[in-house]
Structure 1
Amino acid sequence: MANIFEKIVNGELDADIVFQDDRVTAFRDIAPKARVHVLIVPNQVIETVDDIADEDEALIGHMVLVARDIARQEGIAEDGYRLMINCREHGGQEVYHLHLHLMGGQHMGPMVCR
């Protein structure tokens, strides 16, 4: 059964898509944690960071370059932004389809709060 991100990539669910090509899709998070919060996902399903294969190296690099370009388009590149990938339960991953969070437009604070 397709996960929510697969359905967005395939056009089966509506999303505020800010970028899409043959390798990745980027869309606004429905529960943003920052003024700008965009998820960049590979169009092919890779469940976690731990499931990235050596041959996915170019795809992962492409995801980061897309994040950079979106940050520039959103006007947050100059002040800075955060890129984050969660992996599995202890890493806070909620959807098991690799996704890169691009967050910014405000001071992001410390990485981990106790």
Structure 2
Amino acid sequence: SFSNQAVTHGTSAADTTPPVLITTGDLGPKVTGNQLTLTYTDESNLDAVNTAAASAFAVSSAGNAAAISVNSVAVSGKTVTLTLSRVVTSAETVTVSYTKPTGDNV
């Protein structure tokens, strides 16, 4: 038997440090066909269940007037893959922006 024993909660503290986009080197943003890959630094893996909607991302091209929309967002580990509405050619320079949505899917 025992009494008055301290109990520690079994979950760790919440991860409150936002991930940071890696912008240079082999892990920097890259486009292959219609897939734009973004890799982040973070203490743990990114949340693959509660991902931001495709509408949170905006992609544009300086070398092509054809619009680029984001059709879907997939998260695996520390990588976010955006499936774009069209293939990006090697001659194009694209930019990507992210607007943090309200709620939990950020």
Q: TM-score, normalised by structure 1?
A: 0.33
The structure with more radius of gyration:
2
Q: TM-score, normalised by structure 2?
A: 0.35
Higher fraction of helix: 1
